[in-house]
């Protein structure tokens, strides 16, 4: 939007429009770019592995704290 032009949208509405554009862009990239799909899958695997590790670590720490009591 050019500088100085006022928008009548609230911040929430702007953010919603932004999210819709992002989702649409990602959907199009998934359809048209097989390399993007591979990278996304790899990222998701790593992300979930980190979540699992953090969960295991948190459970072990809790167990150790419970044993100390």
| Residues recorded for the chain | 69
Q: What average pLDDT does this structure show over 35-55?
A: 96
Reply yes or no on whether the pLDDT at 65 is more than 80: yes
For tokens 């150790």, the residue is 64
36 exposed, middle or buried (CB, 10 Å; 0-12, 13-18, 19+)?
A: middle
Model confidence pTM above 0.85: no
Residue 55: pLDDT above 70? Answer: yes
- Asked if 21 and 29 touch (Cβ cutoff 8 Å), the reply is no
46/36 Cα distance (integer angstroms): 15
> What is the Cα–Cα distance from 17 to 12, expressed in whole angstroms?
9
Residue 47 has pLDDT above 80, yes or no: yes
Q: Quick one: average pLDDT of 8-28?
A: 92
Residue range 26-44, pLDDT digits in tens: 999 999 999 999 999 999 9
């Amino acid at each position: 939007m050019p500088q100085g032009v006022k928008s009548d949208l609230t911040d929430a509405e702007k953010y919603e429009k932004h999210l819709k554009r992002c989702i649409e862009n990602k959907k199009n990239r998934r359809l048209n770019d097989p390399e993007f799909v591979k990278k996304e899958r790899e990222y998701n695997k790593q992300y979930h592995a980190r979540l699992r590790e953090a969960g295991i670590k948190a459970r072990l720490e809790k167990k150790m704290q419970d044993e100390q009591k």
